[in-house]
Structure 1
Amino acid sequence: MDVSPFAALLLVALVSLLFFATRRKPSDGWRRLPPAPPGLPLLGYLPLLGPLPHRKLQAMAAKHGPVMLLRLGRVPTVVASSAAAAQEVMKTHDLAFASRPRARMADRLVYGRDMAFAPYGEHWRQSRRVCVLHLLSYRRVRSFRHAREQEAAAMVGRVRRASPGGRGAVNVTALIISYTNGIISRAAFGDEGRFGVDGGEKLTKLFADFEELLGTVTFGDFVPWLAWVDALMGLDAKAARTSAQMDALLERVIADHRQRRRDSRREHDGHRDFVDVMLDVNDEADKNAAGGVMFDDVAIKAIVLDTFAAATDTTYTSLVWAMAELINHPREMRRVQDEIRAAVGDGDRVTEDHLPKLRYLKCVIKETLRLRTPLPLLLPRETMEDTQLLGYHVPARSRVIVNAWAIARDPATWDRAEEFVPERFAGDDLTTDYLLGQDFRFVPFGAGRRGCPGVGFAVPSMELALASLLYHFDWELPAGGPSKLEMDELNGLSVRLKATLLLVAKPWSP
């Protein structure tokens, strides 16, 4: 076959490009880099991770070890898959691993000025301080107790209307999404946060699009010259549309709060919502503007979006997984129901006063978070300097992924690691915010500087919802269907149950 000189030259150029693109950099003399499984030319291991990367990375760690170096497109990425590695990332060398890589979707959707996705720096420190001291303190979380209890009662009412007398299946997934959206809407925007029934449905759709986009991995993040693929797939247009709608909503909310503050300043600090509190911080920053980071409207909007993403997606995902696991484990369901019903006694509903008595319920939630970690790879970190991880050299500006899902299923540290066994947590001190950073075998909320500050907000919301559903109803799979629920996963901002959870709710009364 004749080959033209131009074709031959093109072939040589292409082979040379592939060779240099896939060639490993030297290990800086004596410094030992982590083992690096080979990937594809130019794209590295990016297209080989599959639809459920946490499972693929777990299988790779079993072969290559608890610390690996992968090239995802042009991005060197270190993967930590053991409790010891997680402890070094989130405690021993926490500061070195404390930054975040830039993400195109986060920059577009949360202004590049939020707390969860922001790189380490003064803005991030100020944002976290505001969240910890003003929004997510124990006192502030307690102030939303009435909202949580009202939303739980409303959810129970919706179950009764959807399945009168236990006839017909209930869409449990939709009910739990509505519950979590209701709580965070009221916490962020006030009791008017739902904007009426129609507004609530539109808000739910808007935030569903927002969370879907925020969990989308774009080509441009890893292979900049392929960013045009994101535009071709419609991601850029959808992100621009969603961002504009969200920004308009938040502008209206902030303007409305400012108007109400001018009309009559609220006297009862305990009942103020997140926007009220952040406007106070904003006013205080204006008065003391000599240096420091200004906490302006963009920062307020970014933190509101952070709280929505964290408090809705992961909370509802965990609650759906908990109900699914209990359906497949009727003995455990009966045990937790007996505990709840004994604690409530002759009462007509579960309140937060009952929660401290529900030790087995807490075990169920912890076991769900272990077995079905909602953010299995947490949020990626980025090293700010050259550092070490289990004796391996990790260069500055490396992306770092902690596979919390693999760590929570490690058979070397967990007995019956693949099974749902709530009793494994029975001996724990269940008052310690779910061991945030105390046990690195179990890090569903991360740890260290980049650990989730909203654990204290999420936990009572999960406990109250699950206790309410299990107290008022006996739950079954629909008749004529499978005898066991399929537990297939769907990847997104969090990893959720793939199928819609449809269950029959049979009313129970003392």
Structure 2
Amino acid sequence: MASLDLAINLRSTASSWLSVAINQKTETILIVSLALFAILWYTWTAKKSSKGKFPLPPGPRGLPLVGYLPFLTSDLHHDFGKLAKTYGPIMKLRLGSKLCIVVSSPEFAKEVMRDQDPTFANRDVPVAALAMNYDGKDIGWAPNGPHLRLLRRVCSRELMSNKSLDSVYHLRRREVRQMVRDVSSNINSSIDLSELTFLTVLNVLTSTVWGGTLDGEGRRTIAAEFRQWTQEAMALCAKPNISDLFPVVARFDLQGVVREMNKLAVWMDKVFESVIGQRRKMDSAEGEEKNKKEESNKDFLHLLLQLTEEGEGDRKTPFTVTDLKALLLDMMVAGTDTTSTMVAWAMGELLRHPHVMKKVQEELEQVVGINNVVEEPDLPKLRYLDAVLKETHRLHPALPLLVSRSPSETCVVGGYTVPKGCQVMVNAWAIQRDPKTWDDPLEFKPERFLTEEYNKCEIRGTDYRYVPFGSGRRICVGLPLAERMLPYVVASLVHSFEWRWPEGTNYEFAEKFGIVTKQAVPLVAIPSPRLSNPDLYA
């Protein structure tokens, strides 16, 4: 999602950008030139579009050069939702020199993500993402084409298949049980659930990705370093960037975002090179016993290295070590941030609604038993927990504007022209709170997903009233892993412990908009043991 998805406390940032530019003579000339260019270009495109059969969508007027930027707040999805009430479910805004089209209804979302999916299969890529993700060669940002299809095929077949996920279940289980032990050692103390869930999901992913390659201390070291790396990288991605809003000056990197991101990318590449080197040494040392590996040595890195050695793909689009690194980075960044964020939102809603928490615990007692711990095979039987998580995704989609798209050719959506190369955003947050579609849309009511009207709404994007993970060929490829991890972590926390707010807490359920929309205030709660057998916490 272009950095304007991440960026925009623009009442302050627009003026700060301009003030920095004015301080230097050369940049003053550049800004003036940009202003003239923007005005001329805007006039030309407006005249051109008016001559066509289909007009551009309606939308608010902006200012010369900056467009509608100064009128937006940091809660971009909220702003777009309010504007949609005035201008309709498809509208245009000019943000800097970019034309943005925002879709806010199931009907138009269906046109973009299904009916004209091939046309809208490309991304509008922020420069920070290009620097971070091997020049956009990862699944999230790669352009539609043979290379993207290769990456998605490798990920779906080798990493996200039921067979592959089952083969590394022991690694996920080990880290979830460690989480339970950590919580049990802090009974009746305040625990930052936001931090706990981030570290747990990060540990699960590092174990899954290279758990058989590194020992416990090695995994913990990389996890700690990666957490700091993620925070710095996401901060750079969330920084308002002139290069994204005015691509004509992107080469100058006026704010140094690309320069700083390149430093972080070099560090992460060294980590990957080190871990890959260790895995290759392990495989080489095993020699003839390679096919008799112990279960503990199997991980995703092993599977991916096999594909590079066996020549996955073809001569034109081979699966390379760079592709391998890009896939690992996708899993580590996207998987950690989104899953941990959704665990925190789910736990927050359960704390706010004790009667819902009680119903989840009663279901767990029936399915799992008070003398047992939760296991992944239990999850499909937990229908009410599934409804709770669906409702959490509905109210708090991790990516409220999904990931922006860019049409490969000019097309028509809902009777309006959508120009080639513009930025298209689907406001999933607004769609999933639309009172025309949802009864009591602002209320947390998991039971709605147990009714005939909504029980077919799945997170796989087949019902366009409900698209928390997107839809079509750019739907989140890590969905199968998320479907296992999110309920497993939440079920383990809720089944093993009672949770309560710290005394005197007046928790505000506010959002902090960014690449992933998190809770503005860290979620803190106090656990007490639930299970009858103390050995279950060991």
TM-score for both structures, normalised by structure 2: 0.86
Name the residue aligned to 2:466. Answer: 442
Count residues in correspondence. 492
Is structure 2 residue 204 aligned with structure 1 residue 178?
A: no
Instruction: Assess, with a 3 A threshold, how the Cα gap between structure 1 residues 489 and 333 changes in structure 2: closer, same or farther.
Output: same
Quick one: distance in 1 between partners of 2:231 and 2:183?
22
Name the residue aligned to 1:109. Answer: 132
> Which stretch of structure 1 is more off in the superposition, 18-27 or 376-385?
18-27
Q: Secondary structure at the match of 1:26?
A: helix
The CA deviation at 1:267 is 3.1
Is structure 2 residue 260 aligned with structure 1 residue 238?
A: yes
Name the residue aligned to 2:522. Answer: 500
Instruction: Assess, with a 3 A threshold, how the Cα gap between structure 1 residues 144 and 231 changes in structure 2: closer, same or farther.
Output: farther
Is structure 2 residue 354 aligned with structure 1 residue 330?
A: yes
Is structure 2 residue 105 aligned with structure 1 residue 79?
A: no
Provide Cα deviations, 1:392-447, integer angstroms capped at 9, x if missing partner: 11122221111111100011000000111101101369998934121101001101
The CA deviation at 1:21 is 5.1
The residue type paired with residue 247 of structure 2 is P
Instruction: Assess, with a 3 A threshold, how the Cα gap between structure 1 residues 15 and 468 changes in structure 2: closer, same or farther.
Output: closer
The residue type paired with residue 328 of structure 2 is V
Name the residue aligned to 1:59. Answer: 82
Q: Is this contact kept in 1: 2:242–2:254, CA < 8 A?
A: no
The residue type paired with residue 71 of structure 1 is R
Provide Cα deviations, 1:264-283, integer angstroms capped at 9, x if missing partner: 13535976322211112112
Quick one: distance in 2 between partners of 1:17 and 1:380?
25
TM-score for both structures, normalised by structure 1: 0.91
Residues 145-224 of structure 1 aligned to structure 2 (within 5 Å): 145-161=169-185, 163-164=186-187, 166=188, 168-191=189-212, 192=214, 195-224=218-247
Quick one: distance in 1 between partners of 2:215 and 2:202?
10
Quick one: distance in 2 between partners of 1:247 and 1:14?
36
Q: Secondary structure at the match of 2:527?
A: strand
Instruction: Assess, with a 3 A threshold, how the Cα gap between structure 1 residues 91 and 328 changes in structure 2: closer, same or farther.
Output: same
Q: Secondary structure at the match of 1:141?
A: helix
The CA deviation at 1:133 is 1.1
Residues 325-404 of structure 1 aligned to structure 2 (within 5 Å): 325-404=349-428
Name the residue aligned to 1:20. Answer: 40
Quick one: distance in 2 between partners of 1:396 and 1:199?
42
Instruction: Assess, with a 3 A threshold, how the Cα gap between structure 1 residues 152 and 16 changes in structure 2: closer, same or farther.
Output: closer
Instruction: Assess, with a 3 A threshold, how the Cα gap between structure 1 residues 230 and 371 changes in structure 2: closer, same or farther.
Output: farther
The CA deviation at 1:49 is 2.6
Quick one: distance in 2 between partners of 1:173 and 1:435?
23
Q: Secondary structure at the match of 1:78?
A: strand
Q: Is this contact kept in 2: 1:43–1:223, CA < 8 A?
A: no
The CA deviation at 1:336 is 0.9
Residues 457-472 of structure 1 aligned to structure 2 (within 5 Å): 457-472=481-496
1:278 to 296, 304, 314: 304
Q: Secondary structure at the match of 2:429?
A: helix
Instruction: Assess, with a 3 A threshold, how the Cα gap between structure 1 residues 193 and 425 changes in structure 2: closer, same or farther.
Output: farther
Q: Secondary structure at the match of 1:299?
A: helix
Quick one: distance in 1 between partners of 2:514 and 2:120?
24
Q: Secondary structure at the match of 2:332?
A: helix
Q: Is this contact kept in 2: 1:18–1:41, CA < 8 A?
A: yes
Quick one: distance in 2 between partners of 1:71 and 1:480?
45
Is structure 2 residue 93 aligned with structure 1 residue 70?
A: yes
Name the residue aligned to 1:3. Answer: none
Q: Is this contact kept in 2: 1:90–1:447, CA < 8 A?
A: yes
The CA deviation at 1:481 is 2.5
> Which stretch of structure 1 is more off in the superposition, 49-58 or 343-352?
343-352
Quick one: distance in 2 between partners of 1:475 and 1:210?
33
Name the residue aligned to 2:280. Answer: 258
> Which stretch of structure 1 is more off in the superposition, 210-219 or 242-251?
210-219
The residue type paired with residue 245 of structure 2 is F
The CA deviation at 1:448 is 0.4
Compute the RMSD of aligned alpha carbons.
2.5
Q: Is this contact kept in 2: 1:478–1:504, CA < 8 A?
A: yes
Quick one: distance in 2 between partners of 1:260 and 1:138?
26
Unaligned ranges ≥5, structure 1: 1-9
The residue type paired with residue 73 of structure 1 is G
Name the residue aligned to 2:337. Answer: 313
Instruction: Assess, with a 3 A threshold, how the Cα gap between structure 1 residues 405 and 269 changes in structure 2: closer, same or farther.
Output: farther
Q: Is this contact kept in 2: 1:184–1:312, CA < 8 A?
A: yes
The CA deviation at 1:349 is 1.1
Q: Secondary structure at the match of 2:123?
A: coil
Q: Is this contact kept in 1: 2:34–2:65, CA < 8 A?
A: no
The residue type paired with residue 311 of structure 2 is A
The CA deviation at 1:175 is 0.9
Q: Secondary structure at the match of 1:506?
A: strand
Quick one: distance in 2 between partners of 1:230 and 1:432?
47
The residue type paired with residue 172 of structure 1 is L
Name the residue aligned to 2:531. Answer: 509
Quick one: distance in 2 between partners of 1:433 and 1:257?
41
Quick one: distance in 2 between partners of 1:509 and 1:269?
33
Quick one: distance in 1 between partners of 2:504 and 2:366?
33
Instruction: Assess, with a 3 A threshold, how the Cα gap between structure 1 residues 15 and 338 changes in structure 2: closer, same or farther.
Output: closer
Instruction: Assess, with a 3 A threshold, how the Cα gap between structure 1 residues 230 and 476 changes in structure 2: closer, same or farther.
Output: farther
Q: Is this contact kept in 1: 2:65–2:97, CA < 8 A?
A: yes
Q: Secondary structure at the match of 1:323?
A: helix
Q: Secondary structure at the match of 2:376?
A: coil
The CA deviation at 1:170 is 0.9
Quick one: distance in 2 between partners of 1:303 and 1:196?
18
